[in-house]
């Protein structure tokens, strides 16, 4: 009886080891295929931009170019003055997107209407 249980446990450990090893090898092969070797030709971002450079000019502008910044003063709800440390963030956004409109929204305290937070 003892020999049978030892042989069975060795067999089960061997099956578990082979299964784990097979899974690990398959994952490594998939990783290699995805990140190390590609089936297609290599192309860089500048080559893509050159190839499709005129495609953006033909598309209509569907989304308005507006930067919305929402501010709510939780400490003093009546005060709608933006904090001075937000100036750098605002300036960074407006400098990076000079042709976009910039809007600041100062919200009143939020309230629940039914299941909706308004």
Report pLDDT for 51: 80
Shared-domain flag, residues 78 and 52: no
Q: pLDDT (tens digit, 0 to 9) for every residue of the chain, 118 residues total? A: 566 788 888 999 999 999 999 999 999 998 888 777 666 677 788 888 788 776 556 667 788 898 888 877 777 777 777 788 888 888 888 899 999 998 887 766 555 455 544 4
Residue 110 CA to residue 68 CA, distance in Å, equals: 18
Shared-domain flag, residues 64 and 44: no
Report pLDDT for 106: 74
Joined tokens for residue 33: 């295929």
Shared-domain flag, residues 2 and 53: yes
The torsion angles phi and psi of 61, rounded to 5 degrees, stand at -80, 105
Residue 77 CA to residue 111 CA, distance in Å, equals: 13
Report pLDDT for 110: 52
Q: Which residues form the domain of 10?
A: 1-59
- Residue 67 domain flag: yes
Q: How many CA atoms lie within 13 A of 107 on its CB side?
A: 11
Report pLDDT for 25: 96
Residue position matching structure tokens 């860089």: 44
Report pLDDT for 118: 45
What is the three-class DSSP state of 113? strand
Count up the domains in the chain and report the number.
Answer: 2
Report pLDDT for 111: 54
Report pLDDT for 39: 62
What is the three-class DSSP state of 79? coil
Shared-domain flag, residues 5 and 54: yes
Report pLDDT for 54: 60
Report pLDDT for 27: 94
Shared-domain flag, residues 54 and 65: no
Report pLDDT for 83: 81
Residue 71 CA to residue 82 CA, distance in Å, equals: 7
Report pLDDT for 17: 96
């Amino acid at each position: 009886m003892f020999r049978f249980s030892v042989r069975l446990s060795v067999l089960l450990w061997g099956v578990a080891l082979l299964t784990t090893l097979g899974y690990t090898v398959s994952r490594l092969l998939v990783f290699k295929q995805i990140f190390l070797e590609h089936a297609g030709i290599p192309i860089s971002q500048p080559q893509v931009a050159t190839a499709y450079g005129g495609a953006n000019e033909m598309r209509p502008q569907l989304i308005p170019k507006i930067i919305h910044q929402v501010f709510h003063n939780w400490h003093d709800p009546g005060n709608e003055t933006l904090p001075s440390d937000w100036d750098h963030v605002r300036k960074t956004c407006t400098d990076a997107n000079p042709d976009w409109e910039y809007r600041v929204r100062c919200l009143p305290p939020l309230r629940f209407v039914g299941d909706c937070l308004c």
